Amino acid sequence: MRRFIRRALLILAACVPVWGASGPLVARGLTRRAAPPSPEPPPAGWEAVSLTAEDGLRLGGWLHRGDAGRACVLALHGNGSSRTGLRDVLDVLAEDGTCVLALSLRAHGDSDGDVNEFGWSAANDVRAGVKFLERELPERRRLVFGTSLGAAAALYAAKDVAGRVDGYLLESPYRDLETAVRNRLDMRLGPLAPAAFAVLWPWGSVALPIDPARLRPVDAARDLPSSTHVTPVLLLAGDADAHATLAEAQDIAKAVPGPVRLERFPGADHGHLQRSDPARYRAVLRTWIGEQRGGP
């Protein structure tokens, strides 16, 4: 028994340095582009567009101009995806002649960029999209749809585009990065998650150009306009989502100063709201677009 205990302690002592060294490697892997840039040809009825963000990064996009007088939706995908990966949602958004501008956010799809800051610097991309719609289709109302990463980017940009966006539909946003990291570690490592977090989290400030503790969409939600330009917000959340939980969506809803509604999708996991109940998902999106009528 003593020999077994001694051997176990030696193995544990050997694993600790390896465990500690994994922190910077994992942090870097999580904050870098998941795949090299790849072409994203537009589907039939859409046109390819190219935007330049304020910091000089080029962004790939598709534009569906829709019918005159219909609102324009800026559509933003989730982490590790692109506008191509959002295609099923785009088809719903573009129904009935609605105008849609779909972007691939920085470090995703065919857009420039190597660092993924979980929506923080992608706020530049949201501003670029709003500016594009103001220039190309100034007579249309402007709405923003974002899922996961895209929802966080929309919230981070909210203060800068106040008065220029007429409504937000935010699907499965994360409340803050610390909670998001803990959620994912809990899912994968179970009881080892707290130890893994202690190793990984301090390296976030090295891998990212911003203190990860500042990545809090729940705080950015407080910057949504509520007086001079009231902006309605619709939140969608799945009650089986372990990545961005229903409780997190509820906290964000509480932080929104203006009109807000939370739609819960029973049994839906992260990124699968549409798949969990296609008819209801389509109805929610179409109703939301239909409610935003009138001029800009």
- Residue-wise pLDDT for 176-217, tens only, equals 999 999 999 999 999 999 999 999 999 998 889 899 999 999
Return d(Cα 8, Cα 109) in angstroms, integer.
46
**Domains, the chain, with CATH or none:** 31-176+215-291 (3.40.50.1820)
Give the phi and the psi of residue 240 in degrees, each rounded to 5: -110, 15
145-168 pLDDT per residue, tens: 999 999 999 999 999 999 999 999
Do the beta carbons of residue 238 and residue 265 sit within 8 Å?
Answer: yes
Q: Is the dihedral of CA 155, 236, 273, 169 positive or negative?
A: negative
What is the pLDDT, as a whole number, of residue 32? 82
Q: What is the DSSP-derived secondary structure letter of residue 164? A: T
Amino acid, single-letter form, for residue 265: F
Contacts of 200 (CB under 8 A, 6+ apart): 23, 26, 27, 181, 185
Q: What is the DSSP-derived secondary structure letter of residue 168? A: E
Q: Per-residue confidence at 295, pLDDT binned at 50, 70, 90?
A: very low
Q: pTM of the prediction?
A: 0.90
